[in-house]
Structure 1
Amino acid sequence: MSDPRQIILDCDPGHDDAVAMMLALANPAIELLGITTVGGNQTLDKITRNAQSVLVMCGREDVPVHAGSARPLVRRVEIAPDIHGESGLDGVELPEPTRPPQDTHAVRFIIDTLMAAEPGTVTLVATGPLTNVALAARLEPRIVERVREVVVMGGGYHEGNWTPVAEFNIWVDPEAAHIVFDEEWPLTMVGLDLTHQALATAKVEAQVRDIDSPLGEFFIGLMDFFRKAYQEHQGFPDPPVHDACTIAYLIDPTIVQTRKVPLTVELRGEHTVGMTVADFRSPAAADCRHQVATKLDHAGFWDLVVEAIRVLSHEES
């Protein structure tokens, strides 16, 4: 077996971020070096506490949490209480964190970790707005050539959700997204075209319910709230668990099909700010450093998630 993929998870938990955390914590193919938080689904203090609470639920309080940017680079703060509730993780009772966040700011932790590691060994996974990642690249440009890959849950090459063409994470801080997409590191965009295939169906919940554990019930509570929010506000029958798709891609790339295609982020259009523009007009050049996720193996994806909950439930018992 190859060495586990070392990652930093930059997130804004968030129901789907919580599932991404579970998958990253449980699967032996991933080594989670730390969690950094960024204001997005809710305010920074709330989502940082959520990250800590999920670690408690998973029995993994050893993973460090570093709070980061509370607001976008340029724009006003925008949160998503209609989708994630007032806590950012509505639908469950959140356990009290057992340790405070680390003193080191998230951006400094990202930089220090990448500069200390062997080049090409650490992957940045970003499942919230890209403010922290952009600031890290600007504060210490040398990290760009040291990153193995940047994997972003955000955007969509044919779909939007916060506006007709912009996905929430990109729209909240499009200037940061533009910086991140424009850097020279390899970047994989796991956007709405893929994540809208990752629906938490009744069959999935039944599999988790059969585990019969507090963490399983925690997952079901999250999905129950998430389902109602998506039915009411976006017309989905079941909730798409966006962020966990990034971790599934790193664990088993056959579960998430990709295609190389140049990408950029629109900043100036009257109706298109935050749009992720993918150029499909011709085959991508051999040196294209962008790719987009296109097709999900739904059963394979949920097998990974259910097994992660089973593994963490066994460890907590």
Structure 2
Amino acid sequence: MMALPVIIDCDPGIDDAIALLTAFVSPELDILGITTVCGNQPLAVTQRNALQITALGGRDDITVYAGCWRPLLRPSIHGQFHGNNGLGGLALPAPRREVSAVHAVDFIIASCRRALEQSRPLTLCCLGPLTNLAVALRIDPTIAEGIERVVLMGGAFRDNGNRTFSAEFNMLADPHAAHCVFSQQFAITVLPLDATHQVILTPEHVGQFTRCAGRLAQPLGQLMAFWDRNDVARYGSRGGPLHDPLVIAWLLDKALFTSQQARVFVEYDSPQLLGHTQADWYGKSGLPANASVVTEVNASGVFDLMLTRIARYGEQP
């Protein structure tokens, strides 16, 4: 079976790092490149983190492309749960490579054009704000024909927001970019907080991961331990929600997820509701569905899947 061609657009970020490390040892995915964006941290930090994570995962063969340094229109905001360096204070060796001289937006455009020429459309895995993809689509709207699907982590529908009372961080960080992406014709799969809050990385899970991770045990354990929100009232236990890794898990085993089609709207004008996502579940808008929204997750299945992948690091010399 031919591996699925993907670009991973991200803003590492602890949960981005866990998602990348899972993807690196998944042969079902042909990772064409990693593009970084301003999000959890400023661009200079997210691109450095991406380089360090590729080195940690033994995947220096994957090129990192630096993208947009700020949102389309609004001022930049950054994540609150990732520590000063975006990786929970984890000290990693200096990157062995530099980012590509090619801008991430140019790489996305070129990759989509090539995918269209080769009749092999690609999948974009968007783990952060959607600025890079939105800019690429504004420069060349025809690249949408080279995209089979966008799988993104973002939004909150029946759940509350995690940055404001109604907005999830990725949507709030660049709501204008999100509106642009949801206005396209390609297939979109959305993993909102409604889904990610069903998969809580508890201290017991952290122990399982570190016992099987081999040389990654110490850095992975530190990343995961820092991610513990210690908010039992909200999450029902110690731990933190596995946001971004669910994008990779969905690509690897869709049977673990239940979805519902809906028309998704992103609020980009109201100061009070900026970044709010609204799903029209029942066609009240008169507009066709533009996204498949994940509503239920088999959490134990996701952890089993991720454990089998992370265990592959323990099998490496």
Say whether the fold is shared (TM-score over 0.5): yes
Number of the residue aligned with 1:134: 134
Number of the residue aligned with 1:43: 42
Distance between the aligned counterparts of 2:72 and 2:51, measured in 1?
25
Give the count of matched residue pairs: 312
User: Is 2:153 the counterpart of 1:150?
Assistant: no
Structure 1: tracts of 5 or more residues without a match: none
Structure 2: tracts of 5 or more residues without a match: none
Number of the residue aligned with 2:304: 303
> Cα–Cα, structure 1 residues 283 and 210, in superposed 2: closer, same or farther, change >3 Å?
farther
2:210–2:216 CA contact under 8 A, matched in 1: no
1:44–1:70 CA contact under 8 A, matched in 2: yes
Distance between the aligned counterparts of 2:276 and 2:146, measured in 1?
28
Superimposed CA distance per residue, residues 31-56 of structure 1 (whole angstroms, 9 cap, x where no aligned partner): 11110000100011111111111111
State the shift of 1:233 in Å: 11
1:24–1:31 CA contact under 8 A, matched in 2: no
Amino acid at match of 2:126: A
Number of the residue aligned with 1:196: 197
The 10-residue stretch of structure 1 (206-215 or 153-162) with the greater mean CA deviation from structure 2: 206-215
Number of the residue aligned with 2:224: 223
State the shift of 1:285 in Å: 9.2
Superimposed CA distance per residue, residues 189-215 of structure 1 (whole angstroms, 9 cap, x where no aligned partner): 111000111211233222212225231
Number of the residue aligned with 1:3: 2
Number of the residue aligned with 1:68: 67
Number of the residue aligned with 1:123: 123
State the shift of 1:253 in Å: 0.5
User: Is 2:206 the counterpart of 1:208?
Assistant: no
Distance between the aligned counterparts of 1:245 and 1:192, measured in 2?
11
* Matched position secondary structure for 2:65: strand
State the shift of 1:120 in Å: 5.1
> Cα–Cα, structure 1 residues 90 and 10, in superposed 2: closer, same or farther, change >3 Å?
same
The 10-residue stretch of structure 1 (291-300 or 276-285) with the greater mean CA deviation from structure 2: 276-285
> Cα–Cα, structure 1 residues 291 and 93, in superposed 2: closer, same or farther, change >3 Å?
same
1:216–1:309 CA contact under 8 A, matched in 2: no
Amino acid at match of 1:89: L
Distance between the aligned counterparts of 1:9 and 1:275, measured in 2?
24
User: Is 2:93 the counterpart of 1:95?
Assistant: yes
* Matched position secondary structure for 2:294: strand
User: Is 2:185 the counterpart of 1:184?
Assistant: yes
Distance between the aligned counterparts of 2:38 and 2:233, measured in 1?
22
Number of the residue aligned with 1:108: 106
The 10-residue stretch of structure 1 (93-102 or 62-71) with the greater mean CA deviation from structure 2: 93-102
Q: How does 1:258-269 map to 2 (within 5 A)?
A: 258-269=259-270
1:8–1:32 CA contact under 8 A, matched in 2: yes
1:5–1:121 CA contact under 8 A, matched in 2: no
User: Is 2:94 the counterpart of 1:85?
Assistant: no
RMSD: 2.0
User: Is 2:282 the counterpart of 1:290?
Assistant: no
Distance between the aligned counterparts of 1:56 and 1:234, measured in 2?
37
Amino acid at match of 1:109: F
Distance between the aligned counterparts of 2:108 and 2:233, measured in 1?
34
Amino acid at match of 1:86: N
Superimposed CA distance per residue, residues 214-250 of structure 1 (whole angstroms, 9 cap, x where no aligned partner): 31221110011111xx237995421111001011111
* Matched position secondary structure for 2:200: coil
Q: TM-score, normalised by structure 2?
A: 0.93
